[in-house]
Structure 1
């Protein structure tokens, strides 16, 4: 079990959380945590975003100056 301190809504404060034994086969990467104070469960979700694609073309300005 790994420990981590997170904010617990039920305890209304920062509490140590631990990963319960994972039955889904995630191993050490299991996203589930349980508060050691009250037992409330949380799910740690991570998101992966692709890097924005840079436009390789040079943009031509359509702005014209008045003469």
Structure 2
């Protein structure tokens, strides 16, 4: 079991979280974590992306309109 510290809303503070035995085969990288203080469960969703993918999605400033 791996152990990490996160803020727990139920305990109102930083608590150690551990990954329970994973039936999906994730091992220590299991996204499901359980607070060792109160038993609250959380799911950590991680993903990776390239910064170049965001370059084409930048917002452009609105076009200025002229009164007729």
The aligned residue for residue 11 of structure 2 is 11
TM-score normalised by structure 2 residue count: 0.71
Q: SS state of the match for residue 6, structure 1?
A: strand
Deviation sequence 1:18-59 (CA, Å, 0-9, x none): 1100011111211111000000001111121123167xxxxx
Which structure 1 residue ranges, 5 or more long, are not aligned? Answer: 55-67
SS at match of 1:28: helix
Q: Is 1:30 paired with 2:25?
A: no
Report the secondary structure of 1:23's partner residue: coil
CA RMSD, aligned part only? 1.5
Q: What SS class does the counterpart of residue 45 from structure 1 fall into?
A: coil
Aligned length: 54
- Compare the two structures and name the one with the higher helix fraction: 2
Alpha-carbon distance between aligned partners in 1 of 2:51 and 2:16, rounded to the nearest angstrom: 34
